[in-house]
Amino acid sequence: MQGRTSLEKAQDLLLNTTPVLDIVQVRLESALGRIIAEDICADSPLPGQDQSAVDGYALGSPQAAVNDRFRLISGFKLGRVPTAALKPEEAVGIATGGILPKGCRAVVPHEKSAINGSELQVLEVLKPGQNVKRAGEDYTRGEVLVTAKTRLGPGHIALLAAYGVEKVEVSETPRVGVFSLGSNVVPWQAPLHTGQTRDSNAPMLCALVQGNGGLVTEVHWATGRDGAEITAALADMLRRVDLMICTGGSYLHGASEIQRLMESIGAQSLYWDVPVQPGSHTGAARSGSRLLFALSGNPAACFVGYHLFVAPVLRALGGEKPLPEGISARCSNGFPKAAGSRRLVRGYAQYTPYGWEVEVLPGQKPSMIRSLVDCNALIDIPAGHPPVEPGKDVSIILL
């Protein structure tokens, strides 16, 4: 058994063992939130040609003064390529996105013009290039549009669509397996007998994993299975997932049931026991490129453990900063207990005109769910810290 590992050291060990995911092709319209696996470069300038930026009139001169008059020619249709060049005294109707005819270097918007028969009168001063989108002004040919390892957001989708990209190569969604080891814990939908506890951790972990771009592909419960069956089920599941989260299990006289189980299926310990409250009896192991996490069966400890150990790995897989930096916040209501170990208190943080403010949520026992419901921040109280008085500054990790 290894000694206690600091939180930072444990996180380091995990981030050095990031699972390798397969690459898969998806259609652009299904790519939101996926991690692109390749750099995509511009194969042409954007826009491709000089275009009008407004609905109005293309002018045959590069500029105009108020009351300048132009002869209006017709026969210009949006979506058609203009063939004839405009003469300096001519103007032609054009819509936003219309390709400019040769000879045109400025466009007057319709609302800044007046028409008398076939004569167009300009009502404002126009500078050369005004209301013109120049070819390549947004992106130039060869420029990198999206770099590999980026999680695709709406702006990336828009940009790739503008380039006609139909499919992109992305990392496979991380598959996560959950194994609940508590011998009195039953699936939450099952009939409950006295002495049994409904498993709220598995559905909570499904939701948390989904929020970090992963997918819980299977959930197992140890209840009613003997040791050999549990070991076989764990080994079997490990072949099908990228990450495995075990919750609960006994921890008697320094011997962790999960640690023993993980070792029995050939996984190598990364760390065991991290001095944090709640959930110090936590650990992780690796098996090839797969990671196995041991989290507490207590709901709040499971929640905190997920955010401290599992979420950073999922974020790293998405090319994101794995560990959000702690920020300073005013703790409005304080926390009455002195910290033995480093303590992660569940809070609700809000940004106010005076900076960040965090409220300690009620129900802070590790076994209670209440503090999780509105939790959007962990208050990080150092080991040995005295009680936090109301109004004092604390360090928070925004979730």
Per CB under 8 A, which of residues 101..120 are in contact with its own copies? Answer: 110-111
Binding test (CB under 8 A) with its own copies, winner from 69, 149, 225, 370: 370
The least distance separating its own copies from the CB of residue 254, rounded to whole angstroms, comes to: 7
Residue type, 374: D
The least distance separating its own copies from the CB of residue 6, rounded to whole angstroms, comes to: 20
Rounded Cα distance, 58 and 2, in Å: 76
Binding test (CB under 8 A) with its own copies, winner from 20, 41, 161, 338: 161
Residues 329-368 that bind its own copies (CB under 8 A): 351, 353, 355-356, 363, 365-368
Choose between 88 and 275: whose C-beta lies nearer to its own copies.
Answer: 275
Angle at 123 between CA 119 and CA 127, to 5 degrees: 105
The least distance separating its own copies from the CB of residue 24, rounded to whole angstroms, comes to: 19
Residues 61-90 that bind its own copies (CB under 8 A): 78-81
Choose between 96 and 332: whose C-beta lies nearer to its own copies.
Answer: 96
The pair of structure tokens assigned to 317 is 């897989």
Binding test (CB under 8 A) with its own copies, winner from 70, 271, 303, 309: 303
Residue type, 18: T
Rounded Cα distance, 280 and 148, in Å: 36
The pair of structure tokens assigned to 305 is 């453990």
Choose between 130 and 171: whose C-beta lies nearer to its own copies.
Answer: 130
Instruction: Point out which residues pair with 329 in neighbouring strands.
Output: 394
Token look-up 């002004």 returns 137
The reply to whether 235 sits near its own copies by the rule CB under 8 A is no
Choose between 170 and 286: whose C-beta lies nearer to its own copies.
Answer: 170
Choose between 174 and 297: whose C-beta lies nearer to its own copies.
Answer: 297
DSSP state of 29: G
Choose between 266 and 363: whose C-beta lies nearer to its own copies.
Answer: 363
DSSP state of 112: G
Nearest to 282 by CA among 265, 262, 219, 22: 262
The reply to whether 217 sits near its own copies by the rule CB under 8 A is no
Give me the 25-64 binding string for its own copies, x by CB under 8 A, dash otherwise.
---xx--x-------------xxxx-x-x-x---------
The reply to whether 99 sits near its own copies by the rule CB under 8 A is yes
Interhelix angle 227-238/257-264, rounded to 10 degrees, is: 60
Choose between 97 and 334: whose C-beta lies nearer to its own copies.
Answer: 97
Residue 361 and residue 348 in contact, taking contact as beta carbons nearer than 8 Å: yes
Burial class (CB within 10 angstroms; exposed 0-12, middle 13-18, buried 19+) of 223: middle
Burial class (CB within 10 angstroms; exposed 0-12, middle 13-18, buried 19+) of 74: exposed
Token look-up 């192991």 returns 285
Name 365's Cβ contacts closer than 8 Å, sequence gap at least 6.
300
The least distance separating its own copies from the CB of residue 299, rounded to whole angstroms, comes to: 6
Nearest to 217 by CA among 182, 179, 181: 179
The reply to whether 207 sits near its own copies by the rule CB under 8 A is yes
Binding test (CB under 8 A) with its own copies, winner from 3, 75, 155, 386: 155
Name 80's Cβ contacts closer than 8 Å, sequence gap at least 6.
none
Part of the chain binding its own copies (CB under 8 A), chosen from 9-17, 62-70, 117-125, 137-145:
137-145
How many amino acids of this chain bind its own copies (CB under 8 A)? Answer: 91
Part of the chain binding its own copies (CB under 8 A), chosen from 34-42, 171-179, 207-215, 379-387:
207-215
Instruction: Point out which residues pair with 393 in neighbouring strands.
Output: 330
The reply to whether 229 sits near its own copies by the rule CB under 8 A is no
Give me the 175-204 binding string for its own copies, x by CB under 8 A, dash otherwise.
-------xxxx--xx--xxxxxxxxxxxxx
Residues 371-390 that bind its own copies (CB under 8 A): 372-375
